[in-house]
Amino acid sequence: MSTTNPTTLRIDFVSDVTCPWCAIGLGALEQALERVAPQIQAELHFQPFELNPGMPPGGQDSVEHLTEKYGISEEQVRANAENIRQRAATVGFEMNRRARVWNTFDAHRLLHWAEQVDLARQHALKKALLKAYHTDGENPSDPEVLVRLAGEAGLDPQVARDILASDRYAAETRETEHMYTGAGIRSVPAIVFNNQHLISGGQPVEIFERALRQLAGAQPVDTALA
């Protein structure tokens, strides 16, 4: 039996709650981590990025939003959504129609708090948020939804409620957002390994698995992994 200690990599997963490719990328990364365990493990941190920081409290119809933002037709929006749904299914994530796009800043504030409490609970909250929006069509800016999801993730619902009723963690969340955008990140998911190697987008499981093995020293590092 091998006595080699496992290699632990720090992974910062920069993403937004309403980003479908972030759900796909997380699912693929999780499957890759299962493949390389127990020899390679991860300390996973979820970092904030807002796709639509100026989104008003009432949100916007999702089809309207996408046609305006990307200059594409409704037919293209629906075709893209079907492609995304199929891709999500390959990593075990159920992607349904999201009627509206919402502001996600409060969700990021709770994720920042959760990171301070326990990384496993932050991971659970992130997954709960992605499911609530992309699978169940819930509003991730609704305080009642956020409090419920925090409780489901093993966090204290009353503390979550108190945070949402204040501006707690707002400055810290903004500062972290600005750090990543200042580093050149303009789209998500952006997955940063050991604070120096970046993989962008919802890549296939095999891409993440190869990167994990390379960075853990099990394979030579690919020069394309910047």
Report yes or no on 154 lying in a domain. yes
pLDDT greater than 80 at residue 4: no
CATH of the domain at 111: 3.40.30.10
pLDDT on residue 204: 97
Task: Read off the tokens for 207.
Answer: 């891409």
Residue 72 belongs to a domain: no
Whole-angstrom distance, CA of residue 34 vs CA of residue 31: 5
Range of the domain at 46: 7-59+103-215
Is 198:210 a contact under the CB 8 Å cutoff? no
pLDDT at residue 223, as a whole number? 41
Average pLDDT over every residue of 81-103: 96
pLDDT of amino acid 217: 86
What mean pLDDT do residues 164-169 have? 98
Domain membership flag for residue 28 = yes
Task: List pLDDT tens digits, range 168-223.
Answer: 999 999 999 999 999 999 999 999 999 999 999 999 999 999 999 999 985 554 54
- Closest to 88 measured CA to CA, from 13, 146, 30: 30
Residue 110 lies in a domain: yes
Distance CA 145, CA 63 (A): 23
Residue 27 lies in a domain: yes
Distance CA 164, CA 153 (A): 16
Average pLDDT over residues 58-65: 96
At residue 5, the pLDDT reads 83
Say what the pLDDT of residue 219 is.
56
Handedness of CA 170, 176, 182, 188 (dihedral sign): negative
Model-wide pTM > 0.85: yes
